[in-house]
Structure 1
Amino acid sequence: MANLGDALLSTWIALTRLASPVGGVIVGARRRRGKEDPARSAERLGYSSAPRPAGSLVWVHAVSVGEAMAAMPVIDQLIAEGQGVLVTTVTTTSAALVGHRLRPGLTHQFAPLDLAGPVDRFLAHWHPDLAIFVESEIWPVAIGRLADHGIPLVVANARLSPRSFRGWQRAAPAARAVFRRMSLVLAQTDDDGARFSNLGAPEVATFGNIKFDAGLPDVGLGDLDALKQGIHGRPMVLAASTHPGEDEVVLTAFLKLKEARPETLLVIVPRHPVRGGDIALLAEATGLATRRRGAGELPDPTTDVYVADTLGELGAFFQLADVVLMGGTFIDGIGGHNLIEPARLGAAVISGPHFANWLDIYHAFIDAGGLKVVQSADDLAEATMTLIGDPALSSAQAAAGERVVSGSAGAVARTIKAITPLIGRSPGGTPC
Structure 2
Amino acid sequence: MVKPLYKWKIKQRAQNVEAYQQECLERFGPFQSAKNKQAIWFHCVSVGETNAAQPLIEHYLKLGQPILVTNTTKTGQARSKALFLKAPYEALFQAVYLPADQKSLIADFYQKYQPILLILVETELWPNLIDQADKFEVPCILVNARLSAKSAQGYSKVPSLTRPMLQNFDALLAQDVATQQRFIELGLEASKSEVVGSIKFDISAPEVFIEKAQQLKHDWNLARRKIITLASTHAPEEEKLLNGLKPYLEQHSDCLVIVVPRHPERFDEVFKVAQSLNLNTQRRSLNQSIQLDTQVYLADSMGEMWLWYALSQASFVGGSLNEPGGGHNILEPMVLNVPTVIGPNYFNFQAIVDEFLQANAVAIGQSEHDVVQLLVRCVEDQDFATQLSQHAIEVLNQNKGSLQKHIAVIDRFLSKL
Scaled by the length of structure 2, the TM-score of the pair is 0.92
Name the counterpart of 1:19. none
Name the counterpart of 1:14. none
Secondary structure at the aligned position of 1:312 is classed as coil
Distance 1:150 1:213, change over 3 A: same
1:339-358 aligned at under 5 Å gives the runs 339-358=330-349
| Coordinate RMSD, CA, aligned | 2.0
Confirm whether residue 326 of structure 1 aligns to residue 309 of structure 2: no
Moved more, 272-281 or 294-303: 272-281
Moved more, 171-180 or 107-116: 171-180
Name the counterpart of 1:105. 92
Name the counterpart of 2:34. 51
**Please, which of 119, 122, 140 is the counterpart of residue 135 of structure 1?**
122
Name the counterpart of 1:398. 389
Q: Which residue identity lines up with residue 179 of structure 1 in the other structure?
A: L
The structural deviation recorded for 1:354 is 1.2
Secondary structure at the aligned position of 2:141 is classed as strand
Distance 1:106 1:220, change over 3 A: farther
Name the counterpart of 2:308. 317
For 1:79 and 1:60, locate their aligned partners in 2 and report how far apart those are by CA, in whole Å: 12
Q: Which residue identity lines up with residue 395 of structure 1 in the other structure?
A: T
Question: Do 1:324 and 1:342's aligned partners in 2 also have CA atoms closer than 8 Å?
Answer: yes
Question: Do 1:23 and 1:45's aligned partners in 2 also have CA atoms closer than 8 Å?
Answer: no
Secondary structure at the aligned position of 2:108 is classed as helix
Question: Do 2:205 and 2:336's aligned partners in 1 also have CA atoms closer than 8 Å?
Answer: no
The structural deviation recorded for 1:105 is 1.7
Name the counterpart of 2:353. 362
Confirm whether residue 118 of structure 1 aligns to residue 105 of structure 2: yes
Secondary structure at the aligned position of 2:13 is classed as coil
1:239-250 aligned at under 5 Å gives the runs 239-250=230-241
The structural deviation recorded for 1:116 is 0.8
Secondary structure at the aligned position of 2:224 is classed as coil
1:268-417 aligned at under 5 Å gives the runs 268-417=259-408
The structural deviation recorded for 1:205 is 0.5
Q: Deviations over 1:71-93 (max 9, x none)?
A: 01010111122211100001111
Question: Do 1:169 and 1:175's aligned partners in 2 also have CA atoms closer than 8 Å?
Answer: yes
For 1:33 and 1:88, locate their aligned partners in 2 and report how far apart those are by CA, in whole Å: 21
Q: Which runs of 5+ in 2 are unaligned?
A: none
For 1:393 and 1:373, locate their aligned partners in 2 and report how far apart those are by CA, in whole Å: 14
Question: Do 1:152 and 1:425's aligned partners in 2 also have CA atoms closer than 8 Å?
Answer: no
Distance 1:194 1:60, change over 3 A: same
Moved more, 68-77 or 257-266: 257-266
The structural deviation recorded for 1:302 is 1.0
Q: Deviations over 1:144-179 (max 9, x none)?
A: 111111111001011222223223333334432221
Q: Relative contact order (C-alpha < 8 Å, sep 6+): which is higher?
A: 1
For 1:255 and 1:318, locate their aligned partners in 2 and report how far apart those are by CA, in whole Å: 21
Question: Do 2:152 and 2:182's aligned partners in 1 also have CA atoms closer than 8 Å?
Answer: yes
**Identical aligned residues as a percent:** 27
The structural deviation recorded for 1:294 is 0.9
Confirm whether residue 206 of structure 1 aligns to residue 195 of structure 2: yes
Q: Which residue identity lines up with residue 200 of structure 2 in the other structure?
A: K
Moved beyond 6 Å, runs of 4+: none
For 1:169 and 1:232, locate their aligned partners in 2 and report how far apart those are by CA, in whole Å: 52
Moved more, 99-108 or 289-298: 99-108
1:150-229 aligned at under 5 Å gives the runs 150-202=137-189, 203-216=192-205, 218-219=208-209, 221-222=211-212, 224-229=214-219
Distance 1:131 1:46, change over 3 A: farther
Distance 1:50 1:398, change over 3 A: farther
Distance 1:222 1:357, change over 3 A: closer
Question: Do 1:46 and 1:120's aligned partners in 2 also have CA atoms closer than 8 Å?
Answer: no
Distance 1:148 1:294, change over 3 A: same
Distance 1:175 1:276, change over 3 A: closer
Q: Which residue identity lines up with residue 25 of structure 2 in the other structure?
A: A
Q: Which runs of 5+ in 1 are unaligned?
A: 1-21, 427-432
For 1:215 and 1:113, locate their aligned partners in 2 and report how far apart those are by CA, in whole Å: 34
Name the counterpart of 2:66. 84
The structural deviation recorded for 1:378 is 2.4
The structural deviation recorded for 1:31 is 1.5
For 1:70 and 1:339, locate their aligned partners in 2 and report how far apart those are by CA, in whole Å: 12
Q: Deviations over 1:334-390 (max 9, x none)?
A: 211101000011000111111111111111111111111112232223222222112
For 1:377 and 1:175, locate their aligned partners in 2 and report how far apart those are by CA, in whole Å: 37
**Please, which of 34, 38, 61 is the counterpart of residue 13 of structure 2?**
34
Moved more, 273-282 or 121-130: 273-282
Question: Do 2:33 and 2:113's aligned partners in 1 also have CA atoms closer than 8 Å?
Answer: no
Distance 1:50 1:320, change over 3 A: farther
Q: Which residue identity lines up with residue 250 of structure 1 in the other structure?
A: L
